[in-house]
Amino acid sequence: MFTQPNPGPVLATTGTHNKTNNMSIMEKLLAESGFGALKAHRVVKGKVMEIRKDFVVVDIGGKSEGFISHSEFPDLGEIQVGQDLDVYLERLETKEGTPLVSYDRALQIRRWESIEANCVEGSVVQGRVKSKVKGGLIVSVGVDAFMPSSQIDVTPPKNLDAYVGQTYDFKIIKINKEKKNIVVSRRELIEEQRAEKRRTLLEDVKPGTIRRGVVKNITDYGAFVDLDGLDGLLHVTDMSWGRIGHPNEAVKVGEELTVMVIEVDRERERVSLGLKQTLPNPWEGIEKRFPVGAKVHGKVVNLVAYGAFIELETGVEGLVHVSELSWTKRVQKPSDVLKVGQEVDAIVLSVNTEEQKISLGVRQLETNPWEMVRHNYPVGARVRGKVRNLTNYGAFVELEEGIDGMVHVSDMSWTRRITNPGDHLKKGDEVEALVLDVDVDQQRISLGIKQTMEDPWSVIDRTYHVGDVVKGKVSKIANFGAFIELSDDIDGLVHVSQISEERVENVKDALKTGQEVSARVIKIDKEERRIGLSIKAANYDAERLQAEISNYDRIKGPSTGPAPTGGQSTGGGSFGGGDFNSLGDLLDKAGN
């Protein structure tokens, strides 16, 4: 602390002259002590005078001593009595009468001066991480600098405490001299180093080489592996010879892997990697381990609409197509009979080494029941079964579990032209049929219902004769006439000209569906399977009947033939002229 010396008798002089003398003496003493040259907020020279328990005593000139806490010295052991130090003079005098000085503040200022003189943005400096703060770290690079969390590493760090106390190289990315702020980055240096390593790796790496790497990131389609500066893609299909649902089932972030370089694209700086390629290929020699016809055991690992995948060994799967699950059961979905994780036996049907495919069959474990079909259901055999399903072309009849026969619409009736099987049969109906054909290879049995009974048209000449009077019921009405249902499910046609002696404009005015009528057979065509009837001729004598038959035979069509007796129009259809293929066609047309 500065102490003013004793002035002696001179200071006792009074008056203006004495004041002038006193000021001159004071200035002289201050000048001699050097204290008058000191100014606050400056870095000044000091000398260590004493090292006490909690403070270091420093003389800054003029016998003025300041006190500096031990905490301001990074290494107190390096401080010696008599050592010169730069200190920062914050105040010339405190209330205790001593100057307020700081070693740490002076050190920071000198370092800032060094930073300003020697460093620019982009310079690389070494520093030590001092502490963690909100948003990043405080780094000592001579002065305190801030490093944002985003600039610590190439991957966002999870634990900032792990960096405290560590020494690294940093890149200065921003200097604010006015605010005395410095922002540094470690990530940029790492990226530059990685870029250099990447260039070197791209020049040296070749397909087929083995490398070590660390899993950096995982996506739905694979994982990116850091090859010490170069990221390579490990696709999910190259992770394992076996089935993988998601890449995270095979690898984890941070895991170290041994991989093989599969492909290198130097222009795009892309590398494709393989993990399974570092292991033996299980498909080599597959035909010897799983020959065609061999019985194998495996586990269901996946079910799809078209079949089930069975794992036979690690990396080797076989497919059981849905059609190979059962000989007799109609399996719509594999999940109806199998579950993931279920262990099953199967037979090897085929092996394709190039495409790495194995076809399996489960039904081949049992005898094919269709091999006995030809024996159990020979052609001509009469069988019984239940209608299982109807289609627009026929009906499927179940003969036994898993064995169906098909009745085509053309084999349902001798006398009716069936267009909708549902009008003739219903699901669950018990039917009798005749086996018409058996195709074991195609697993098909053709059945006929009409073949179980005699074709009434084959004996029609024994049942009906021209001139016979028959009774029947009106089954359908058309604009050209009416159909009369006779015995044996046979219909005869009464042409509009044969309904009445009087002219009939509208058939529905003369006849009603379900009405019972008497009519005379005036035409039988066994080959064309047609019977012509006449209601008006029911009571004719032989001569008139013959004349009517002759007129009927001359009908050719709706506009080409001569009008029948009575001058009536043919009404839009013919019988004798053959304009319709069969009576069934006429019935169909009438139904429409």
By percentage, how much of the chain surpasses pLDDT 70?
Answer: 87
Residues 374, 357 share a domain: no
Rounded Cα distance, 110 and 104, in Å: 10
Give DSSP secondary structure letters for 486-508.
Answer: -GGG-EEEEEGGGS-SS--S-HH
**Does some domain include residue 195?**
no
Rounded Cα distance, 564 and 348, in Å: 76
Rounded Cα distance, 64 and 162, in Å: 45
3-state SS, one letter per residue, for 112-160: HHHHHHHCCCCCEEEEEEEEEECCEEEEECCCEEEEEHHHCCCCCCCCH
Query: Does the pLDDT value for residue 560 go beyond 80?
Result: no
**Does some domain include residue 458?**
no
Give the pLDDT band of residue 224 (cuts 50, 70, 90). very high
Residues 470, 448 share a domain: no
Residue 364: Cβ-neighbour burial (10 angstroms; 0-12, 13-18, 19+): middle
Residues 140, 240 share a domain: no
Average pLDDT, the chain: 82
Looking at residue 589, its pLDDT comes to: 52
Residues 407, 437 share a domain: yes
The closest alpha carbon to 104, from 86, 126, 83, 122, belongs to 86
Residues contacting 227, CB < 8 A, separation 6+? 201, 205, 211, 212, 213, 271
Residue 198: strand, helix, or coil: helix
Residues 583, 503 share a domain: yes
**Does some domain include residue 197?**
no
Tell me which residue range forms the domain holding 81. 8-107
Rounded Cα distance, 40 and 18, in Å: 31
Query: Does the pLDDT value for residue 52 go beyond 70?
Result: yes
Encode pLDDT of 230-284 as tens digits: 888 999 988 888 778 899 888 999 899 999 998 888 878 888 998 888 888 888 8
Rounded Cα distance, 401 and 403, in Å: 6
Mean pLDDT of 382-387: 94
Query: Does the pLDDT value for residue 11 go beyond 50?
Result: no
Rounded Cα distance, 225 and 256, in Å: 9
Nearest 5°: CA angle at 194, between 190 and 199? Answer: 155
Residues 567, 498 share a domain: yes
Looking at residue 37, its pLDDT comes to: 65
Residue 310: strand, helix, or coil: strand
Rounded Cα distance, 135 and 452, in Å: 93
**Helix ranges (DSSP H) in 124-258:** 187-204
Better-predicted residue by pLDDT, 511 or 570? 511
Q: Which residues pair with 218 in a beta bridge?
A: 223
Domain-ending residue, one of 235, 256, 278? 278
Going across the sheet that includes 65-69, the strands are: 65-69, 55-59, 42-51, 84-91, 100-102
Looking at residue 23, its pLDDT comes to: 46
Specify the number of domains making up the chain: 6
Give the pLDDT band of residue 29 (cuts 50, 70, 90). very low
pTM: 0.44
CATH of the domain at 74: 2.40.50.140
Looking at residue 197, its pLDDT comes to: 80
Give the pLDDT band of residue 559 (cuts 50, 70, 90). very low
Residues 128, 37 share a domain: no
Domain-ending residue, one of 365, 391, 416? 365
Q: CA separation (Å) from 31 to 7, 34, 168, 279?
A: 15, 5, 49, 88
Residue 273: strand, helix, or coil: strand
Rounded Cα distance, 224 and 164, in Å: 29
Encode pLDDT of 503-549 as tens digits: 888 999 999 999 999 999 999 988 888 899 999 988 888 888 888 88
Encode pLDDT of 440-482 as tens digits: 888 899 999 999 998 888 888 888 999 999 999 999 999 899 9
> 20: part of which helix (H) or strand (E)?
helix 15-33
Residues 83, 25 share a domain: yes
Looking at residue 141, its pLDDT comes to: 86
Residues 292, 271 share a domain: no
The conformation of residue 85, written as its DSSP 8-state character, comes to: E
**Does some domain include residue 473?**
yes
By percentage, how much of the chain surpasses pLDDT 90?
Answer: 35
CA 4 vs. chain centroid, Å, equals 92
Query: Does the pLDDT value for residue 10 go beyond 50?
Result: no
Phi and psi of 294, rounded to 5°? -75, 145
Residues 297, 244 share a domain: no
Residues 76, 37 share a domain: yes
Encode pLDDT of 336-349 as tens digits: 899 999 999 999 99
The closest alpha carbon to 359, from 290, 441, 440, 442, belongs to 290
Residues 432 and 357 sit within 8 Å (Cβ to Cβ): no
Query: Does the pLDDT value for residue 577 go beyond 50?
Result: no
**Does some domain include residue 541?**
yes
Residues contacting 162, CB < 8 A, separation 6+? none
**Does some domain include residue 113?**
no
Domain-ending residue, one of 221, 248, 278? 278
Looking at residue 321, its pLDDT comes to: 94
**Does some domain include residue 212?**
yes
**Does some domain include residue 196?**
no
Residues 583, 496 share a domain: yes
Give the pLDDT band of residue 314 (cuts 50, 70, 90). confident
